[in-house]
Amino acid sequence: MEILSPAGNPDGLAAAVKGGCDAVYLAGKDYGARAFAGNFTDRQLEGAVNYAHDRGVKVHVTVNTSLKNRELSDAVTFVRFLKDIGADAVLIQDLGLLRAVSGIDIRKHASTQMQIHSLKGLEWCAENGIDRAVLARELTLEELGSIVPASPVETEVFIQGALCYCMSGGCLMSSFMGGRSGNRGSCAQPCRKLYTSGGKTGYLLSNADLYGVDRIEALRSIGVTSLKIEGRMRSPAYAYLSAKVYSMAEDGDFLDEFHESLELLKTVFNRGTCHGYLDGVVSPVQSLYPDNRGFYLGEVRVEDRSFRWDPAFEPIGIKDGLSLFDGDVKVGGFKVLEMDPVRIPFKIPDGRYQVYRTYDPRIDVIKNEIGATPKLDGKTPRHHVDLALPKQPRRDSRPEVSVYVNTMKTLEAALPYARRIYFEHGDKIDEAREACAGRAELVDLLPRFDALDECVSDGPVMVNGPGQYMACRKASRIYASSVFNCYNSWFPLDVHQVTLSVELSRNEVSDLISRLPTRAEVMAFGRTELMYSRDPGLEPGAIVDETGASFPVYRDKRGFARILNSVDLFLLDSLQELGGSGVSSVGIDLRKRPPALAKAVGEYIKRPDPKLREKIEQMCGGFTYGLYRHGL
């Protein structure tokens, strides 16, 4: 199997290559999902490709963010440049970009942000010019074993590094809470913040790092093509050690050098370790701390600013860097200068403390092995590609009303006001269809994650990813949900209607629809779903952040946790403006909401009244315009 390593900058590139990886992935200065890594200029990219190829290492370049209309021409120009400099593959999330670069002869990989998690998704990839798919990190080994052997394209699986709490490509918490879009490469990491739930306070959304070195043989046996190491934001020492550890493990080399390298890897970055979901649906959360504390060594009793080290623990030595913690509080860090006892060079109360190793002098040897920053240069210019889709006939009318519900009582309350009902897939779907007969269109709203392609429909259906689209191509009518992150007019799927990304501003919505050949829906009311997670450990109810904002949490019928925004989106005063922009339908999300609210919202849409608006706001506890008025 290929060992695929991160290269966040030229130093990281040299480190990963010298560590022994088979391929690296990196990014230019734009359109990569790690905008805050150092990344590479065009000249450095060409030099990086030459540097890696000279050493037998492949280069995959990420262009894996959601892209707006105004960015498409530049992004396609960049992909053509990557082909010209000999990059081995380009990594893509945006379906519009995939369509726009279909004629460029370069291998194309589906980012994990594209949410490929089933065999039908892999078949869709094969039909649409994708050579490899980075599979969703939520898949278990058992599910991978049902999917990978029959895949018509190469498969890539994460084996090491940070895990997103939300399913990749589906997180809106960063953009709604922090004003920075994870889908655009600028995640503000809300999952690493402190929350309270049910009287418990901790880092409740903070996953431990994936360490899958002991799962390599299982992944090899089912035919996985590539093992991916996360970490473009981490140090060159991490890039070197992770490449070395996994390359040695892939070769079956588990001698002393392997164990020494693994210990050092856990020293240079460590926020706790887990197997993710590979071993099954168990919680990957490590809620005690969200940051890198280094390698946990044990607990000691400090007396008179010193302690004696128990030889039964991991060994420590002169010049080791140690940090002492009292629970969640870092007391201080220091370099070991004397042993037996270990002396602490700052004032500290007597008591028990946890000890972490944050530095090992052997890392200096690694830095010497990596050497100086390589000189990366190139001369190939970009050749600009100018993209332009034709303007569509202006659509200016009052939008239809589409309502999302998951109970029959709320359906009955919303039905007099709705053109269509999106009803969550389950055992009540036939009853819902019968209730809507002759009154409104009933659309079967499929679950967001369906690894075994179990949920299909031949009637009107709303799908959430390429795999479901593939599975439901015989449906009488297909709706594409907002999970597709439709950001531009190049959206390629043949659907009756697509719900646009909720991260778009009013001007971006108008511009997108002006060149979009299919119908478009915009979400106009409801608690926006900010995260969708397979974590079984999060309790239903709510999580409360450090500002006091409360985010409802519920678990759906398939066991996934859904975290909703603390306030309701309210664009019902903008229906005329939305219609003037060409919006065909507005989405009203009333899942997990009472029938009384459904009726009040329906009445307000029919006859706007300031007093009724005030009543709805009181029922909801507050409104937001989301990102519609100011964007990102």
Residue 482 lies in a domain: yes
Co-location of 263 and 406 in the same domain: no
pLDDT greater than 90 at residue 628: yes
- Tens digits of per-residue pLDDT, 116-165? 999 999 999 999 999 999 999 999 999 999 999 999 999 999 999 999 99
Q: Are residues 415 and 456 in the same domain?
A: yes
Residue 13 falls inside a structural domain: yes
> Is residue 26 assigned to a domain?
yes
- Could you give phi then psi for residue 609, rounded to 5 degrees? -140, 125
* Residue pair 545/607 in contact by the 8 Å Cβ criterion: no
Q: Do 300 and 422 share a structural domain?
A: no
What are the angstrom distances between the C-alpha of 622 and each of 289, 379, 415, 615, 625? Answer: 32, 55, 25, 11, 11
What tokens does 595 get? 């029938």
Q: What CATH number does the domain containing 39 carry?
A: 3.20.20.70
**Assigned domain for 555 exists:** no
**pLDDT tens digits along 537-589:** 999 999 999 999 999 999 999 999 999 999 999 999 999 999 999 999 999 99
Tally of domains in the chain: 3
Q: What stretches of 391-489 show up as alpha helix (H) in DSSP?
A: 408-414, 429-436, 466-471
Q: Which amino acid is at 235?
A: S
Coil, strand or helix at 162: coil
Cα 498 to Cα 482: distance, rounded to the nearest angstrom: 7
Q: Which residue shows structure tokens 């036939």? A: 430
556: Cβ contacts below 8 Å, ≥ 6 apart:
424, 447, 562
* Boundary of a domain, candidates 274, 307, 324: 274
Q: Does the residue 200 lie in any domain?
A: no
Clarify whether residues 244 and 305 are in a common domain.
no
> Which residue range is the domain that position 333 belongs to?
295-364
Whether residues 42 and 108 fall in one domain: yes
Pairing of strands 89-92, 585-589: unpaired
Contacts of 165 (CB under 8 A, 6+ apart): 171, 191, 205, 206, 207, 285, 531, 533, 535
256 and 309 co-located in one domain: no
Structural domain ending residue among the three candidates 315, 343, 364: 364
In a domain, 290, yes or no: no
Q: Do 404 and 354 share a structural domain?
A: no
pTM of the predicted protein model:
0.95
Same domain for 313 and 225 = no
pLDDT digits 0-9 by tens, 269-315: 999 999 999 999 999 999 999 999 999 999 999 999 999 998 778 88
Same domain, 241 and 353: no
Find, among 95, 290, 65, the residue nearest to 181 by Cα: 65
| Phi, psi angles (nearest 5°) of residue 331 | -85, -35
Q: What is the mean pLDDT of residues 492-512?
A: 97
Domain end among 240, 274, 308: 274
Are residue 125 and residue 233 in the same domain, yes or no?
yes
The residue type at 456:
V
